[in-house]
Chains A and B, each alone.
Chain A
Amino acid sequence: MDKTARGYRQIPVYLKYLINAVLLAAFLVLGNALLSSGAVNRAQSAVILQIGIYILLAVSLNVATGYLGQLPLGHAGFMAVGAYTAALIWKSLPGKNIGIIVLGLLAGGLLAAVTGMIIGIPALRLKGDYLAIVTLGFGEIIRVLIINLPGITGGTPGLMSIPKHSTFMVVYITVILSCMLIHTMMKSRHGRAILAIRENEIAAESSGVNTTFYKVLAFSVSAFFAGVAGGLYAGYTGILTPGNFNFMTSINILVMVVLGGLGSMAGSIIAAGILTALPLALQSFNKYRMVIYALLLIAVMIFKPSGLLGRYDFSLSRILEKAINGRLFTKPRKAGEDRA
């Protein structure tokens, strides 16, 4: 078991962290340089921001769907809560500094998490399909609330002139940080408890896992990051309308998660990237987009229910370790085993 015992050389943990940190920082600097130098045009940078936001939406839905094994269909509702909260805070606090931006995103996330908890506590007592329908209903309720409370939300015409705080830097750092926090949570005893519920709920409960607590936890974490993504979305578009958060938005996010592979963060990220960029790149694709999505959902479920990447999680350190041991091209270990 212990790879050092078999002469398998491992990279020290601190070095793994350092490599990842350096690479992430390099990407940030590079991206910023590209954007500010004008090498990337406005339309392209808009696509990049959208991809970032959808990555966070997909990764956060993956917590509830891929890791916990439930099927919430109201992800757009949590996104809406976060978006409107952040937008209202930013509108009432003039100025653009890091404190205000963080405050808006955090408040959006927290309110979404609280909403998730309120909806999750009754819904999670129910089995899968009921949960799906309750969350779907919840998403619709949120939308009706937004439409019918024009004093706060701007109603159907929308909430306008929201400060555009979502720069590349803000989106990049938020998305990376969020993905890291979700990853570190999953690689811990809390994460293992959540996975155990997906694998076998009765066995988990009888092994001492408080399944209700962990379901609500996973659900709230999922809602929190959807709320943060909503905040980013508000700061990206500058205008929010109820139509941004309908059932189709929830489905879009679900398609990304399913296609990428339920339970694979790398899969969610890749699928979110492709499915966000594709319609923007190919205008003609737009007309057929939903038909293709629908066929993709059905085909993936029938022919490859595990999605593109299954439960595979990308780990740079693992690849590097293989490389220094000269085993880069040997058969990979089974998915979901990377630790630290």
Chain B
Amino acid sequence: MLFLSQCINGLQLGSIYALVALGYSMVYGIIRLLNFAHGDVIMIGAYIALLTIGAGVNPALAVVLTIFGCVFISVLIERVAYRPLRSAPRISLLITAIGVSLLLQNVTQLLFTANTRPYPGSAIIPSKALKLGGLSLSLTTIVTILVSVGSMIALHLLIQKTRMGKAMRAVSEDTGAAQLMGIDINRVISVTFAIGSALAGIGSVLFCCRYPVVNPNIGSMLGLKAFVAAVLGGIGSIPGAVVGGFAIGFAEVLVTALGFSAWTDAVVFAILILVLLFKPAGLLGRGVAEKV
């Protein structure tokens, strides 16, 4: 029974990582950028929910605002900071992304101080527990898993069945060729950022319901681990991000259950290094060779 509840625990954490990892993976697939600011967009989402609910906004509406807020800020970042560097060396783009991440964290800190605040998680998902046989499941857990899986299915359909999805796949395959075929690259990139950050917005709500505290730094470690998940699964691969997310979630729950909670971060990064050593393209990714 303990084992089962730990498994569900891992499933919950893993599905959050997977949602966030999808955002990394999609953006990487399309512009080969490790979007450092992705985790911080999640943190911004947490503040939006916190402030709107604090101001008496209906929690359901607050969730919607969170998602739209994340989308808005992500698309804005892409426009202002990343687009001018479309043809710049990768290292410049990466440094810019680090800069954006720092900016979000520190502006938030200036505005709201570095203090940790409670997140109104119970206003969004009531803190009830359901008994299933001998198993006690919190409503948060169930909602998290259902919403995550639902979002992933929606994303899958979007990418496989719609015109925009087809365009996204084309751009990630070969940007130049896609452009020649008349695809509006800038629009596809904006939409990719928007979808990735909508998932981040959902992830933000679910993550904060699980760990209901907010400070300007909550996004960075979550973001890093989700990125590790994306790399583990094979960056650029959508199913890979999901598999990687669940793997990291389970690994973390396992390490904690064994009584080494102080080591979880180290274990996650050690997994990353080992994966890159033995399977650099990740579990489901494929290597890309440079054209000579």
Contact = CB atoms under 8 A, between A and B. Distances in A.
- In the complex they form, whether A and B have CB atoms below 8 Å apart is answered with yes
B269 A202 contact: no
A301 B273 contact: no
Nearest to A139: B269
Given A145-B266, A297-B98, A290 B106 contact: yes
B242 to A, nearest CB: 19
B263 A122 contact: no
A126 B277 CA distance: 9
B280 A254 contact: no
B110 A288 contact: yes
Given A301-B88, A302-B85, A140 B266 contact: yes
Given A148-B263, A202-B292, A302-B85, A123 B276 contact: yes
Given A134-B273, A294-B103, A301-B88, A287 B110 contact: yes
Interface in B262-286: 262-263, 265-266, 268-270, 272-273, 276-277, 280
Interface string A285-328: 00110110111111001100100000000000000000000000
- Chain B at the A interface: SS class: helix
A338 interface: no
B56 interface: no
Contacts of A291: 103, 106-107, 110
Contact of B269 (A138, A288, A290, A305): A138
Interface stretch (B66-74, B128-136, B167-175, B224-232): B224-232
With most chain B CB atoms within 10 A of its CB, the pick from A145, A254, A297 is A297
A288 B106 CA distance: 8
Interface of B: 28, 32-34, 81, 84-85, 88-96, 98-103, 105-107, 109-110, 220, 224, 227-228, 231, 262-263, 265-266, 268-270, 272-273, 276-277, 280, 290, 292
Interface of A: 65, 69, 71, 73, 119, 122-123, 125-126, 128-130, 132-134, 136-138, 140-141, 144-145, 147-148, 202, 247, 251, 254, 258, 262, 287-288, 290-291, 293-298, 301-302, 305
Nearest 9 A/B pairs, CB to CB: A297-B99, A137-B269, A294-B103, A294-B102, A144-B266, A298-B99, A290-B106, A129-B34, A301-B96
